[in-house]
Amino acid sequence: MNRVTFGCMYNCGDVCNGECNWEKISVIDETNKELYSEIENLIIRWNNDGTKTAGSLTREIMNLIKTNNELES
């Protein structure tokens, strides 16, 4: 079965068929958009991998946040 997908109408980088909740997340501003996308990417890759634990995902996210905070300082 072929499935047609459309890019996000909010340009968040997702293929969400226009059901994106990007604008509904008021705590995400332009400065955090990149971090949000990177965390989302980690979650998607973790989900697709299927062999890593939730703890490994958490450590990756924490390292990403730490690196982001160091770059902002």
Q: Decide which of 49 and 3 is more confident.
A: 49
pLDDT score of 4: 39
The pLDDT assigned to 11 comes to 56
Range of 59's domain? Answer: 27-72
Q: Report pLDDT digits (tens) over 11-70.
A: 555 556 556 665 555 556 676 888 888 999 999 999 999 999 999 999 999 999 999 889
Domain-located, residue 1: no
Closest-CA residue to 3 (of 13, 19, 14, 17): 17
- Percent helix, strand and coil across the chain, each to the nearest 5: 60, 0, 40
Q: Which amino acid is at 73?
A: S
Whether 17 is covered by a domain: the verdict is no
Total of domains in the chain = 1
Domain assignment present for residue 59? The answer is: yes
pLDDT on residue 1: 36
| Beta carbons within 8 Å of 22's beta carbon, 6+ residues apart | 8, 10, 12, 14, 28
43 within some domain = yes
Q: Which residue has the higher pLDDT, 69 or 73?
A: 69
